[in-house]
Amino acid sequence: MKRSGFWFVAPFLVLYVAFLVVPMLVGLGASVTDQGITGHAKFVGGANYLELFRDPAVWSSLWHTLIFTVTSTPAIVLVGLGMALLANRAVPERWLYRLAFFAPYLLPVSVVVLIWNWLYQPGFGLINDLLTRLGLGEVGWLSTDGMAMTSIVITTVWWTAGFGFLLYLAALQEIPRQLYEASALDGATPLQQLRRITMPLLSRTHQLVIVLQILASLKVFDQIYLLSGQGGIPGVRSIVQYIYESGFTRFRVGYASAISYVFFALIAVIALVHFRLTAEKR
């Protein structure tokens, strides 16, 4: 029986080893060499790791990634929760709210970037047009370092909040309606029901959404790369983008692999700290 079960999971194991374990081992081997894009490699030991700790571009791109994660994660979680609370109420045309809230998440990143790139444009962009109609000056949403990160966060929130919305909506529908009916008979207001019933029963969903969003934010690449004009704004370059540029623009595959493994270790530490904190709460 056990042997027959193994054959059911064997195809997945083969794919897992071929496309995850083997590339990880190959990348680890490349990180201690000076391998370029042509495949030529010479063993350099820990030189790549020593170099990356002295490379200011590594720390600046890592800092941009942390700023993006810290600013985008709370916004995405709160917007997703707010949309789920609204869509879960017995309002007319509830299906339309659900479709409108989740639809942006289905769009490919190229379409999302195209939409927001036009909205942010100076002169004819919709956002700057509204600002000028209100008597305000135009804003260089994508041309200045300070506003570029804000623009990318806004775009990401609009695009990905639908994922958290879907998880929260599913969790809200699992809460028994009898709890709200009994509390209403006892005189509880909607705000008290939200604080005393809804939010405590969504605690596990909060943890899931926050962890998934943190991991997704740390891996941010596409929207920054495309919105900033393929690396045109150094103030928003993420660590994944710097890894990409090191490997495929400067052709330093070994160095890019070393940065990848240090970044992987950082994500592993964050995940372990989170699991430790949540385990203590249980």
According to the model, what pLDDT value does residue 116 have? 92
pLDDT in tens, the chain (282 residues): 566 778 888 889 999 999 999 999 999 999 999 888 776 788 888 899 999 999 999 999 999 999 999 999 999 999 999 999 988 876 677 788 888 889 999 999 999 999 999 999 888 888 888 988 888 888 888 887 778 889 999 999 999 999 999 999 999 999 998 898 898 888 888 899 999 999 999 988 998 899 889 989 998 988 888 887 665 676 788 999 999 999 988 889 999 999 999 999 988 888 888 778 777 666
Could you tell me how many residues make up the chain?
282
Whole-angstrom Cα distance, residue 74 to residue 164?
A: 11
Closest CA to 215 of 223, 226, 207: 207
Evaluate whether 234 touches 57 at the Cβ level (below 8 Å). Answer: no
179: Cβ contacts below 8 Å, ≥ 6 apart: 197
Written out in words, the top-level CATH class of the domain with range 57-280 is mainly alpha
In the chain, where the domains are located: 57-280
What's the one-letter identity of residue 36? G
Report the pLDDT value the prediction gives residue 104, as an integer from 0 to 100: 92
Count the neighbouring beta carbons within 10 Å of the beta carbon of residue 102: 17
Cα–Cα distances in Å, from 132 out to 50, 139, 141, 217? 50, 10, 14, 33
3-state DSSP assignment of residue 257: helix
Would you tell me how many other CB atoms lie within 10 Å of the CB of residue 231? 15
Determine the Cα–Cα distance for residues 9 and 15; give it in Å rounded to an integer: 10
Q: In Å, how far from its chain's centre is CA 64?
A: 13
Task: Write down the number of H helices and E strands in the chain.
Answer: 15, 0
pTM listed for this prediction = 0.86
pLDDT at 282: 61
> Rounded to an integer, what distance in angstroms lies between the CA atom of residue 163 and that of residue 213?
9
Q: What was the pLDDT predicted at 275?
A: 78
How far apart CA 220 and CA 64 sit, in angstroms, is: 10
Q: Among residues 207, 222, 221, which one has the least CA distance to residue 271?
A: 207
Q: How far apart are CA 204 and CA 275, in angstroms?
A: 12
Structure tokens at 232: 């045109």
Q: How far apart are CA 208 and CA 210, in angstroms?
A: 6
